[in-house]
A and B are shown apart, each in its own frame.
Chain A
Amino acid sequence: MSRVVVIGVGLAGLTAANRLAAGGVDVTLLSKGIGGLQLGQGTIDVLGYTPDRVTNPVLTLAAIASSRPEHPYAVIGAAGVHTGIEYLKGLLGAKLLVGDVETNYQLPTAVGAIRPTCLASPSMVAGHVRDGAKFAIVGLRRLKDFHPKLVAENLARSALPDGAQPTRSKRSLFGDPIAEAFAKQTPGHLEVRHLSVDVPARENEIDSSGLTYARAFDDPAFRARFAETLRPLLADGETVGLPAVLGLNDLTAWSDVAEKLGHPVFEIPLPPPSVPGMRLNAALTAKAKAAGVRMVPGSWTVGFRAGNGGILGLSVAAAGAQREFTADTFLLATGGFESGALNLDSHGLVTETVFGLPLAGLDAEPLIHGDYWGAEQPLFRVGVRVGRDMRVLDGAGAVVHDNLYAAGGIIGGSSRWAEKSGDGIALGSAVLAADSILKELS
């Protein structure tokens, strides 16, 4: 047996498992698959919209924490999020994530919208929109899922989030004095054009995926070929926006491309398979394994055994016979509806699928309204309630099982996708839960 069983291999589960193992306890990480983090953009959202666009996430979340007691940030707090962010940055390093909890980057998306996010890959931040930037959005003809014209035309007509007073214009984002000077001359305006080049990722393929391109960009020879084709087509002072396929395993591929082009570049995340998401997932998984975490993918939980006020064991449907995992402590990091942690049946009954835990947020009437584009759906706020130590509580505020903690999307009280708060909640609750467990076990 391990001392801790973590269930779920998303951002919360992986972060908690790493922190627990670093704290010296045996950890088993049970998961259905290999992690949902790689479906994400490879960025860390703390707070993006309230619904107004957020520029300082930690300040705004502190305001939410005090005004909305049901929100996860009310129990996690700004300090908890700060700890989580710093822990992740320390774990992964500046080759994977840059930024700080006091500033949101405003980054172009694959449809040419401008998305606020707290931490981003260093390969993305030259795309932080700022007055007077001159972007060339470059597509690859054989790459599905990236349309440079769509990106460029939408960006060109977008109002810049921070208008005439860009928050980052004084910072040297990529040490390009021309771009800096240009930004100062033409406030509140982006100059964007688009072009495409045809550099096949591999022979005999006309519709490669982003993943195939990312593997090709791992090869310096391919990067040279690509840069040779594109370089003559670029104009002075342009920052080059590219689909986020600049290397899967080689974290220096993007900077090598920039150097070879003689222009700053930025990656724009694509629909899945998301290469920047895969990079984060791979790094966190490798760290967990190196720290001694026992990972058991393919674990579908089918039941549990409770007694003495706690959870004694968790059964999973392994091939052949069921297998029980026992532990001193269990951490539920299974996510929400999207990962099957919560289920809504045809009678409108919502259940937590591993332990059948009591859920908060079910009293909203109706849970789902018919106005698809309208107000937030109350259903998305459904989830478990936790105390400050991240143990799961019932409706009356009492601990449900002495040794059961929760982290991440399973915690109710927020529409994470609309607020862009999911990663901040995951990180804050994961470090708080891990620290509570370490304290409890010591």
Chain B
Amino acid sequence: MTTEGVEFAGHELARASLDACVKCTICETACPVSAVTPLFSGPKFVGPQAERFRNGESVDHSLDYCSSCGACTLACPQGVQIAELNSQARAVMKADHMPLRDQLITRTTLMGMMMTPVAPIANAALRNLPIRTIVEKVIGIHRDAPMPPAQTQTLQGWLKKRKVPMKAPTRGPVVFFHGCAGGYFEVETSRKSIEVLEYLGYEVIVPKQGCCGLAQQSNGLFDQASAAVLKLCDELRGAGKDLTIISSSGSCTGMLKHEAHEIMGVSDDKLKDVGTRIRDMMEFLLDLHDAGELPTDFARIDMTVPYHAPCQLKSQGMGQPAVEVLKLIPGLTVVESGAACCGIAGTYGLKKEKYEVAQAVGKPLFDMVKRTNPDLALCDTETCRWQIEQSSGVKTEHPIWMVHRAYGLS
């Protein structure tokens, strides 16, 4: 039956929240998955309603079609942790028969480590239809699903080789958490984030760091994910006590802020320490602005650009800080996508049986992006950017790219 990682205190907490459900159905109106497929009967039914009847493995396997995007939890005015309940019940359901595929695609650091040294070969393989078809048949990753392009240099590689900034820091040190994607695939976003922070006068400490375990968590591999997140906490804490930790990986930040605790019940003090000190990059900039400490001598950028706030960023209860920060750049018009989710939801949209659903979820977003600016879109998390870029054909970058540009750094 259940493994040790599934027997956690958080489960009890989330279960208790289901009693606050008044069946108002607001979550049903927010769910992007049930909107496009009858395979998922909606968050109210699969969440608090079905949870009352669950004892051990769920008999209703439509649960597996919940993408855990969290739009339902965010919409619930009664505080029911609907997506969290579903993530937990899914972990219990899959405990005895975890697909090999779900174990493989969650090893994000390993993927990056293996692909970087052979980047051209890895990228050619990802573009090769026969190879992708075999991968789909054998492993279950859809042939058209977005895969990150391997880079020839890791972030740590860049940090070692770059010229040390000449300007002496004026604002003290901060810790940068880049996540697996920011370390291996989205190196440019990490680089630009560090450069903006340095421009603002911070000393940026980038400790050696592993994975937050989010992909494992969302696939129900709670034991591995809990170990990963705690190891990461040690690494980030090692960089300095009481320092603000900043990240451009929106969803990994969410894992540290609340998901590891709320979904997996990790209640270690070191997670609490890191979780309360970490800030999303754009959140950090907005906090500075609210405190009157953000220089706003931005260069003019005459452009209209679509912006999509990822589901896992919105679920952090901080609104859409990127929108507020980008508003400060003269000439720049930011159009919010208004979409709940791009469909990928971490690894959900990679899976062959869910690929079509994920594409249908994201379709209004892809259309909106193409309509708004066929050349550039902005989005805070990596997998969402890959999904938007792959499905809309529009280059998609982190909002920090605009800030970097507006400060004259690129």
Contact = CB atoms under 8 A, between A and B. Distances in A.
A298 interface: yes
A260 B338 CA distance: 31
A23 interface: no
B79 interface: yes
Interface string B255-297: 0111000000000000000011110000000000010000000
27 contacts: A32-B79, A33-B26, A33-B76, A33-B77, A38-B26, A39-B25, A209-B28, A272-B25, A272-B26, A294-B324, A295-B319, A296-B317, A297-B74, A297-B314, A298-B74, A298-B316, A298-B318, A299-B317, A300-B79, A300-B317, A318-B318, A319-B258, A319-B315, A319-B318, A320-B275, A323-B318, A340-B78
Interface string A294-312: 1111111000000000000
A202 B41 CA distance: 13
Q: Is the interface of A mostly helix, strand, loop or mixed?
A: loop
B24 interface: yes
A340 B338 CA distance: 27
A205 B319 CA distance: 35
Contacts of A34: 26, 30, 74-75, 77
Nearest to B316: A319
B336 interface: yes
Nearest to B276: A321
A318 to B, nearest CB: 4
Contacts of B254: 319
Chain A interface category by residue count: 35 or more
B213 interface: no
Interface in B314-358: 314-320, 324, 327, 336, 338
A32 B35 CA distance: 23
Contacts of B25: 39, 209, 272-273
A204 interface: yes
B395 to A, nearest CB: 25
Contact of B336 (A31, A202, A289): A289
Interface centre among A212, A292, A319 (most CB of B within 10 A): A319
Given A1-B290, A33-B26, A273-B28, A319 B317 contact: yes
Contacts of B30: 34
A211 B318 contact: no
Given A319-B317, A323-B318, A39 B24 contact: yes
B77 A340 contact: yes
A326 to B, nearest CB: 8
Nearest to B26: A33
A106 to B, nearest CB: 27
Given A295-B319, A296-B319, A321-B276, A211 B29 contact: yes
